Homo-oligomer: A and B are copies of this chain.
Amino acid sequence: MPVATENLSQILYRDMLLIRRTEEKILELFSAGKVGGTTHTCIGQEANAVALVGQLDRQRDFVVSNHRCHGHYLAYGGPLDGLLGEILGTANGVCGGRGGSQHIKYDRFQSNGVLGGGIPIACGMAMGEKLKGGDGITVVSIGDGALGEGTLYESLNMAALWDLPILFLVENNRYAQSTPLHLGVAGSIVDRARPFGIRADEIDTTDVEELLVWSSRAIEAVRLERKPHWAVMHTYRFSAHSKGDDTRDEDEVRAYQEKDPLRIQSARLNAEQLDEAEAWVRDVLGRALAACDAAGEAMKL
């Protein structure tokens, strides 16, 4: 647990580190054959999750995530053992092992593996909140690849027509599976929402502290003005799309790794703080895995 003396930089680092180590562990478990199916890790993109989703208020805000959802889930505050259990197919999985890596629901957070499918649902959730007069917002996360799905534009139109309090979090990691941006996305990403009359903004950084300030403005805009917002984060993933299916140029990946959000953030911490974070994460992760072991295979239909 965070200790009282921890400062914001430490907390951000620790939260990103937890995501990083969890994703690494998941890939390791996959390689060891301990998990079936598929999974999509967000290594390299942790700062987005922590900066934006991490700032939401779990008591009132909603998140609709996609296939690459682990980081969003953890930043939202979803229990780690529930996530690992879900992926391992143990009985403590947050959805009892039914959903698996891509289909998770916890409190006001949910994800689904069909690209584009969650976007209009997020609009409905935002509209529900609006009708109730609540001040919660809904965040729906999509990648650059999901810009190909028509439901996105149908939803932008609805969100604008009805002033829905929804934040479109667009994580442009420059690839959709194996497809580089220029083969899948014509023109501009940030402009895609503008013709609908939706405010749009973009940021190209992996510095979690910069992202935090930028995200906080985006969140507050939606929360206070009760209008949609299109927030594009240019980013990069270091891990493969799912498991080992990486065809990107190694030099390119290496170049982006220079901007590893953890590296950037670690520069703000001293050695002791870094060790402390590692130790904390190791402990939390260890306990979560133990909980999965103890729970045993999910067998209850």
Contact = CB atoms under 8 A, between A and B. Distances in A.
Interface of A: 147-154, 156-157, 160-161, 183-188, 191-192, 194-198
Contact of A154 (B148, B188, B194): B148
A218 to B, nearest CB: 19
Contacts of A151: 150
A147 B204 CA distance: 31
B197 A188 contact: yes
Given A149-B150, A154-B148, A157-B148, A187 B196 contact: yes
A187 B230 CA distance: 14
Contact of A150 (B153, B187, B191): B153
Contact of A195 (B183, B184, B194): B194
Contact of A185 (B157, B191, B194, B198): B157
Number of copies: 2
A277 B279 CA distance: 90
Contacts of A192: 195
A300 to B, nearest CB: 39
A140 to B, nearest CB: 15
Contacts of A154: 148-150
Give 9 closest A-B pairs by Cβ, nearest first: A150-B150, A160-B186, A187-B197, A191-B195, A153-B153, A187-B196, A161-B186, A186-B196, A192-B195
Nearest to A186: B160
Contacts of A191: 194-195
18 contacts: A148-B154, A150-B154, A152-B153, A157-B185, A160-B186, A161-B183, A161-B184, A161-B185, A161-B186, A187-B194, A187-B195, A187-B197, A188-B197, A191-B194, A191-B195, A192-B195, A194-B195, A195-B195
A152 B188 CA distance: 17
A186 to B, nearest CB: 3
A192 B160 CA distance: 13
Contacts of A186: 156-157, 160-161, 196-198
Nearest to A156: B186
A269 to B, nearest CB: 40
